[in-house]
A and B are shown apart, each in its own frame.
Chain A
Amino acid sequence: MKIKVAIPERGETEIEARSGWTVMEALRDAGIPIAARCGGGCACASCHVHIDPAFFGKLAPVSEDETDLLESSDHYDVGASRLSCQIICDDALDGLALSLQPDSLED
Chain B
Amino acid sequence: MTDNVAEMAKPLADVPSNVPADRVVDFDIFNPPEIDEIGLHEAWVKLQQSTPHEVVWTPHNEGHWIALRGKRVRAMYRDPDHFSSHVIWLPKSEGLQYGLVPTRLDPPQHTPFREVLNNAIGITVTKEVEPIVREVAVEIIEDLAPRGACNFTEDYAKQFPVRVFLKLLDIPYEDVADVKKWVDQMTRPDGSMSMEEVMENFFRYVDPIIDDRIANPGEDLISRVVNNDIDGRPMTRAEMRGLVSLLLVAGLDTVVNALSFFMEFLARSASHRHELVENPKKIRLAVEELFRRFPVVAEARMVKVDTQVDGVTMKAGDMVCVPTILGGTDDQMNKCPMQVDFNRKDTSHVTFGDGPHICAGQHFARQEARVTIEEWLKRIPEFEIAPGSKIQHKSGIVCTVEDLPLVWKVK
**Residues in A lying within 8 Å of B, measured CB to CB:** 18-22, 25, 28-29, 36-41, 43-44, 46, 65, 72, 86, 88
Contacts and interface: CB of A to CB of B under 8 A. Distances in A.
A28 B397 CA distance: 25
A39 B358 contact: yes
Contact of B348 (A29, A37, A86): A37
Interface in B333-389: 345-356, 358-359, 362-363, 366
B362 A20 contact: no
Given A29-B107, A37-B348, A38-B348, A43 B115 contact: no
B344 to A, nearest CB: 10
Nearest to A103: B346
Contacts of B285: 43
A20 B115 contact: yes
Contacts of A22: 123
B351 A39 contact: yes
Nearest to A39: B352
A19 to B, nearest CB: 8
Contacts of B123: 22, 86, 88
A46 B345 CA distance: 11
B118 interface: yes
Contacts of B346: 37, 44, 46
Nearest to A43: B288
20 contacts: A20-B118, A20-B119, A20-B122, A21-B115, A28-B78, A28-B354, A28-B355, A29-B107, A29-B355, A36-B354, A38-B348, A38-B349, A39-B351, A39-B362, A40-B352, A40-B358, A41-B352, A41-B362, A43-B284, A43-B347
Nearest to B124: A88
A71 to B, nearest CB: 13
Q: Secondary structure at chain A's binding surface: helix, strand, loop or mixed?
A: loop
Nearest to A45: B346
Contacts of B351: 39
B300 to A, nearest CB: 19
Contacts of A46: 346, 348
Interface residues of B, number: 30
A39 B111 contact: no
Interface pairs A-B: 9 shortest CB-CB: A43-B288, A37-B348, A39-B352, A20-B115, A20-B118, A44-B347, A29-B356, A39-B358, A41-B366
Nearest to B231: A18
Contact of A37 (B118, B122, B349, B356): B349
Nearest to B365: A41
A21 B118 contact: yes
A101 to B, nearest CB: 14
Contacts of B358: 25, 39-40
Nearest to B352: A39
Nearest to B359: A39
B161 to A, nearest CB: 18
Which among A25, A44, A65, A88 has the highest number of chain B CB atoms within 10 Å?
A: A44
Contacts of A86: 123
Given A18-B111, A21-B115, A37 B347 contact: yes
A39 B353 contact: yes
Nearest to B285: A43
Contact of A41 (B107, B119, B363): B363
A45 to B, nearest CB: 8
Contacts of B349: 37-39
B350 A39 contact: yes
A44 B345 CA distance: 8
Contact of B288 (A18, A36, A41): A41
B366 to A, nearest CB: 6
Contacts of B107: 29
